[in-house]
Amino acid sequence: SIMRKCINDMVVPASLAAPTGRANEGQTFVVPKGHYLLASPAVAQVDPRVWRDADKWDPLRWLDPMGAAAQAGSLYNDEQGEKIDYGWGAVSKGTESPYQPFGAGRHRC
Protein backbone atom coordinates (compact mmCIF):
# COMPACT_ATOMS: atom_id res chain seq x y z
CA SER A 1 0.00 0.00 0.00
CA ILE A 2 1.04 3.62 -0.36
CA MET A 3 1.15 4.00 3.44
CA ARG A 4 3.70 1.19 3.75
CA LYS A 5 5.81 2.86 1.09
CA CYS A 6 5.62 6.25 2.79
CA ILE A 7 6.71 5.12 6.25
CA ASN A 8 9.99 3.72 4.92
CA ASP A 9 12.89 5.45 3.22
CA MET A 10 12.00 6.01 -0.41
CA VAL A 11 14.37 6.00 -3.37
CA VAL A 12 13.54 8.77 -5.84
CA PRO A 13 14.83 8.27 -9.40
CA ALA A 14 16.31 11.29 -11.12
CA SER A 15 13.97 12.57 -13.80
CA LEU A 16 15.23 16.05 -14.65
CA ALA A 17 18.62 17.57 -15.18
CA ALA A 18 20.27 19.10 -12.16
CA PRO A 19 19.92 22.87 -11.79
CA THR A 20 23.59 23.10 -12.73
CA GLY A 21 22.78 21.60 -16.13
CA ARG A 22 24.66 18.37 -15.40
CA ALA A 23 22.74 15.15 -15.87
CA ASN A 24 21.69 13.16 -12.79
CA GLU A 25 22.23 9.84 -14.53
CA GLY A 26 23.27 7.11 -12.15
CA GLN A 27 22.52 9.17 -9.05
CA THR A 28 20.07 7.94 -6.46
CA PHE A 29 18.19 10.23 -4.11
CA VAL A 30 16.78 8.91 -0.85
CA VAL A 31 13.98 10.68 0.98
CA PRO A 32 14.34 9.54 4.59
CA LYS A 33 11.21 8.56 6.47
CA GLY A 34 9.76 11.50 8.34
CA HIS A 35 10.78 13.96 5.61
CA TYR A 36 8.47 15.57 3.07
CA LEU A 37 8.84 15.75 -0.68
CA LEU A 38 6.78 18.41 -2.43
CA ALA A 39 6.35 19.37 -6.05
CA SER A 40 6.36 23.09 -6.69
CA PRO A 41 3.96 24.37 -9.36
CA ALA A 42 6.14 27.49 -9.43
CA VAL A 43 8.88 25.51 -11.20
CA ALA A 44 6.52 24.57 -14.04
CA GLN A 45 5.40 28.19 -14.27
CA VAL A 46 8.87 29.28 -15.40
CA ASP A 47 9.75 26.36 -17.69
CA PRO A 48 11.12 27.86 -20.93
CA ARG A 49 10.21 24.63 -22.77
CA VAL A 50 6.55 25.52 -22.18
CA TRP A 51 6.39 29.28 -21.84
CA ARG A 52 7.83 31.89 -24.19
CA ASP A 53 9.76 34.43 -22.07
CA ALA A 54 9.09 32.26 -19.02
CA ASP A 55 10.98 34.51 -16.62
CA LYS A 56 9.09 37.65 -17.70
CA TRP A 57 5.96 38.84 -15.88
CA ASP A 58 3.30 38.67 -18.58
CA PRO A 59 -0.27 38.16 -17.33
CA LEU A 60 -1.54 38.59 -20.90
CA ARG A 61 -0.01 35.23 -21.86
CA TRP A 62 -3.20 33.69 -20.46
CA LEU A 63 -5.28 35.58 -23.03
CA ASP A 64 -3.25 34.55 -26.10
CA PRO A 65 -5.58 32.22 -28.08
CA MET A 66 -2.57 30.47 -29.65
CA GLY A 67 -0.45 30.40 -26.49
CA ALA A 68 0.52 27.47 -24.28
CA ALA A 69 -2.21 28.21 -21.74
CA ALA A 70 -4.98 28.18 -24.35
CA GLN A 71 -3.64 25.01 -25.97
CA ALA A 72 -3.42 23.21 -22.63
CA GLY A 73 -6.88 24.45 -21.66
CA SER A 74 -8.45 23.20 -24.86
CA LEU A 75 -6.76 19.81 -24.46
CA TYR A 76 -8.29 19.31 -21.02
CA ASN A 77 -11.69 20.74 -21.89
CA ASP A 78 -12.42 18.66 -24.99
CA GLU A 79 -13.52 15.04 -25.19
CA GLN A 80 -9.95 13.78 -25.65
CA GLY A 81 -8.61 15.36 -22.46
CA GLU A 82 -7.74 13.39 -19.35
CA LYS A 83 -10.99 13.12 -17.40
CA ILE A 84 -12.10 11.43 -14.22
CA ASP A 85 -15.49 11.23 -12.51
CA TYR A 86 -15.39 11.65 -8.73
CA GLY A 87 -19.15 11.25 -8.51
CA TRP A 88 -20.39 14.65 -9.68
CA GLY A 89 -19.59 14.37 -13.38
CA ALA A 90 -16.42 14.05 -15.41
CA VAL A 91 -13.81 16.74 -14.80
CA SER A 92 -10.27 17.25 -16.02
CA LYS A 93 -7.61 15.78 -13.74
CA GLY A 94 -5.23 18.46 -14.93
CA THR A 95 -2.23 16.47 -13.75
CA GLU A 96 -0.42 16.70 -17.08
CA SER A 97 -1.18 20.36 -17.65
CA PRO A 98 1.82 22.69 -18.09
CA TYR A 99 0.22 25.08 -15.62
CA GLN A 100 -1.22 24.06 -12.29
CA PRO A 101 -1.68 27.20 -10.24
CA PHE A 102 -4.80 25.68 -8.70
CA GLY A 103 -3.46 22.18 -8.18
CA ALA A 104 -4.58 18.97 -9.84
CA GLY A 105 -6.62 15.90 -9.15
CA ARG A 106 -9.43 15.43 -6.70
CA HIS A 107 -8.52 18.22 -4.27
CA ARG A 108 -7.71 21.03 -6.66
CA CYS A 109 -9.45 24.40 -6.35
Which residues sit in the known binding site for heme?
A: 109
b vs e for 70-95, b when ≥16 Cβ sit within 10 Å of the residue's Cβ?
Answer: eebbeebeeeebeeeeeeeeebbbbe
Report the alpha-carbon distance of residue 24 to residue 14 in Å, rounded: 6
Q: Which residues are annotated as a binding site?
A: 109
